[in-house]
Chains A and B, each alone.
Chain A
């Protein structure tokens, strides 16, 4: 009788441990954005993105602290936080979605896989559905995910005054570059 209880408990523990290995995470993911106009090029980098990916279901989540975006010019950084994304009110941007073709990716085998990610992007307090192409590279148990897509500030109620309209692109190019490690629990 005791054996049964012990075995069951072991099984339960094992089950949870195995399941947890299906997940990968990072706290140092890179997100950059780039706005290009004939008047001015603006770029910013963030190296502290957190993200978790569930290789079984294909689910992925991202969270990024807006104040951690670093700009070339101090004043741009101040205006970005104060006037545009209002980091005081909306400190984080997040994405919650899934890899649509998760079946095509074998996280146990080295290789490069083309994927499509679909989900909801929340920025400046506004949530919108987005879809983006991406690449997943598996090598020696490490997973890298990369994607490039466009975001229109207008869609997220980020107001740009006429005075600087010419300096900020209507479509901002966002680049995501994540190096995931296995999540051990």
Chain B
């Protein structure tokens, strides 16, 4: 009997203490519902250096890109190490939604107009839904409008066109480190020599490492599979820094490619890093919010 009374008393005390001595009020709500968290800002902008990164501009955002590649460093002091010459691309990108962006641009080199669409098929995420990688598909069309080298022969409009199709697969491994691979096919309607194939298959690799919150170092390399391009063509290699300031991203880099569009730097690069055929260059990106997200209303 005494034992029972004691047990009851103990029970009362326990019940009392468990309901009163609750220090952590929020734990009363039980386990939180897990949410899906998407990996963001794997690169500072939509381009690694010359080629595309895993990132898209957000829906409703326009990104104006002005890119320069100066002449080659080994052109000497007379040309101020290449700074006397410049190749320019001016472009506008727009995010139709968070997954699909389109863009167009115009390059001074070969007077090329280009347009592209880029779609995020898979987004790296953790939490409720886990996806280890991001997968992006990019398709571009490029129109060379430079005057024909041999105007006397039959030249077709279709010969001015080139196409690129690219998959970008990558992962943001940590807050600072991202690695991506880019299997690519470039189709050229007109090729410069009989040694060139119309379809060129390349494998690209790129990485970024953040140095501080606002500065990152990027590297990008495109390897063209053998026997597709004439022997004077080199693989494109670029190394550079991203510097972010408010609404701008400045990209400063060194590359052996003159062109800033896919068929250009992937199949027309003749610069040799070993000989000092290196271009200093920069991209400036400025974003404008054109359409405000609906989620903020109400």
Contact B4 A5 (CB under 8 A): yes
A4 CA / B205 CA spacing, docked (Å): 77
Asked if B2 lies at the interface with its beta carbon under 8 angstroms from chain A, I say: no
Contact B26 A63 (CB under 8 A): yes
B104 to chain A, nearest CB (A): 21
A114 CA / B271 CA spacing, docked (Å): 74
A16 CA / B213 CA spacing, docked (Å): 50
Contact A5 B8 (CB under 8 A): yes
Given contacts A70-B295, A185-B28, contact A78 B19 (CB under 8 A): no
Asked if A177 lies at the interface with its beta carbon under 8 angstroms from chain B, I say: no
Which of A4, A61, A88, A163 contacts B25 (CB under 8 A)? A61
Q: List 24 A-B contacts (CB under 8 A).
A: A5-B8, A8-B8, A12-B15, A16-B18, A16-B19, A19-B20, A52-B25, A52-B29, A53-B25, A54-B25, A70-B293, A72-B292, A73-B61, A74-B58, A74-B60, A74-B289, A75-B61, A78-B41, A79-B246, A82-B213, A83-B214, A89-B175, A161-B214, A167-B246
A131 to chain B, nearest CB (A): 19
Asked if A173 lies at the interface with its beta carbon under 8 angstroms from chain B, I say: no
Interface of B is mostly: mixed
Asked if A120 lies at the interface with its beta carbon under 8 angstroms from chain B, I say: no
Interface residues of A (CB under 8 A from B): 1, 4-5, 8-9, 11-12, 15-16, 19-20, 23, 25, 27, 45, 50-54, 59-61, 63, 65, 67, 70-75, 78-79, 81-83, 88-89, 161, 163-164, 167, 183, 185
Contact residues in B for A27 (Cβ distance below 8 Å): 29
Contacting residues of chain B (27-53) with chain A, CB-CB under 8 angstroms: 28-29, 32, 35, 37, 40-41
Q: Sorted from nearest, which 4 A-B pairs have the closest CB atoms? A: A74-B58, A52-B25, A12-B15, A61-B25
Most buried by A among B59, B214, B245, B246: B246
B98 to chain A, nearest CB (A): 8
A106 CA / B75 CA spacing, docked (Å): 83
A36 to chain B, nearest CB (A): 17
A98 CA / B295 CA spacing, docked (Å): 33
A79 CA / B8 CA spacing, docked (Å): 58
Asked if B296 lies at the interface with its beta carbon under 8 angstroms from chain A, I say: yes
**Which residue on B lies nearest to A60, using beta carbons?**
B25
Contact with A along B263-298 (1 / 0, CB 8 A): 000000000000000000000000101001101100
Interface residues of B, CB < 8 Å — how many? 36
Contact B24 A61 (CB under 8 A): yes
**Which residue on B lies nearest to A43, using beta carbons?**
B296
A15 CA / B20 CA spacing, docked (Å): 11
Contact with A along B234-255 (1 / 0, CB 8 A): 0000000000011100000000
Which of A11, A20, A67 contacts B19 (CB under 8 A)? A20
Contact residues in B for A20 (Cβ distance below 8 Å): 19
Contact residues in A for B40 (Cβ distance below 8 Å): 78, 81-82
A45 CA / B296 CA spacing, docked (Å): 7
Asked if B11 lies at the interface with its beta carbon under 8 angstroms from chain A, I say: yes
Asked if B157 lies at the interface with its beta carbon under 8 angstroms from chain A, I say: no
A142 to chain B, nearest CB (A): 18
Asked if B12 lies at the interface with its beta carbon under 8 angstroms from chain A, I say: yes
Contact residues in B for A67 (Cβ distance below 8 Å): 37
